[in-house]
Amino acid sequence: MAASREPLDVAVSRIDAGSTVAAGLALEHSIPFAVGHELLRQGVNDLSVIGPISDLLFDQLIGDGAVSEVRAAWVGNVSAGTGYRFRDAVESGEVTVENHSNFSIALALEAGAMGVPYLPTRSLLGSDIFEQSDQFVETADPFEGEQIALVPAIEPDWAIVHAQRASPHGDVHLWGNTGIVEPAVGAAENVLVTAEEIVDPDVIKSDPSRVAITREQVTSVVECPFGAHPSPVAGHYNRDNEYYLRYNRQTETESGFEDWASKWVYGVADRDEYATLVDADLEITSPTVAAEVQYGQ
């Protein structure tokens, strides 16, 4: 089964209010901001968002009331620390938080992908995570008797991934830091892929080892250049460092966030118009090209 190639607004309209959504899966690389902004424009709310280091994405979704629960290792602004909208929402009780480590989020999604109820780890032992949440269980290993922690599976309704390129059928080339994309895609019921470019299937077939996601895993695929800005996309554009600092200054107050959103989210019709607002030079000036790989008989 092939994915459906769709415009961004159509693909995002498939995500219902109340959905569990995993995003920001490649850590600070290739964060799907275009999808996040379209979720806000469409007024999708009551989301449970899941991720390791979501950077600004979760803060932006929270700032406009789209999120009721966060299941994450960290939310904030990598360049400046605090995500003000996240902090205010947690302090006011508008958003609940299930604390994770980066590794426990990875384990939870891996368990979901494997179809098992949990996976064990020792990495959480000695932390106060068991006092903060009853989702995790500390118990004796039935084989060796030593204490272990059990991390329950997470199976999101949606995993959102931004990639360098994809075929119209949903086969995806993704390189650079991929984080926990693989287990999240395996665990999710649906996968939405945005790509810098949609290419002929022969381009994907020419390098099968670089295929990170295959068509039977993908629900919708969207051509969306600049879809991860302000985060970087390996081979396409660098990180917009100044944007992160400006966002921090602008969104310290709720009214400041509203001003930011009126320009960057609601003041544009689509990602093409969004790109006209970016004045930074993010061009990759010293590209690094991998050695040629030969396939065939």
Neighbours of 249 (CB within 10 A): 10
pLDDT of residue 293: 87
| Rounded Cα gap, residues 41 and 95, in angstroms | 20
Contact 39, 17 (CB under 8 A): no
Task: List pLDDT tens digits, range 250-293.
Answer: 999 999 999 999 999 999 999 999 999 999 999 988 888 888 88
Question: Which residue intervals of the chain bear CATH 3.40.1080.10?
Answer: 4-107+154-275
Contact 90, 76 (CB under 8 A): no
Instruction: Please list, in sequence order, all residues whose beta carbon lies within 8 angstroms of the beta carbon of residue 133, skipping any fewer than 6 positions away.
Output: 98, 99
Task: List pLDDT tens digits, range 51-103.
Answer: 998 789 999 999 999 999 999 999 999 888 889 999 999 999 999 999 999 99
Give the pTM.
0.95
Whether the predicted pLDDT of 1 surpasses 70: no
| Rounded Cα gap, residues 43 and 15, in angstroms | 11
User: What are the phi and psi torsion angles at 173 (to 5°)?
Assistant: -100, 125
pLDDT of residue 193: 98
Instruction: Please list, in sequence order, all residues whose beta carbon lies within 8 angstroms of the beta carbon of residue 31, skipping any fewer than 6 positions away.
Output: 23, 24, 54, 55, 56, 57, 162, 228, 231
pLDDT of residue 216: 96
| Rounded Cα gap, residues 6 and 282, in angstroms | 27
Task: List pLDDT tens digits, range 186-221.
Answer: 999 999 999 999 999 999 999 999 999 999 999 999
User: What are the phi and psi torsion angles at 189 (to 5°)?
Assistant: -70, -35
Top-level class of domain 4-107+154-275: alpha beta
Taking CA atoms, 266 is separated from 39, 55, 183, 254, 269, in Å, by 11, 21, 33, 16, 7
Q: Return the closest-CA partner of residue 64 out of 273, 262, 240.
A: 262
Task: List pLDDT tens digits, range 136-160.
Answer: 999 999 999 999 999 999 999 999 9
Whether the predicted pLDDT of 295 surpasses 80: yes
Tell me the pairing of strands 96-99 and 67-74: parallel
User: What are the phi and psi torsion angles at 268 (to 5°)?
Assistant: -125, 150
The tokens describing 11, both together, are 């693909």
pLDDT of residue 289: 87
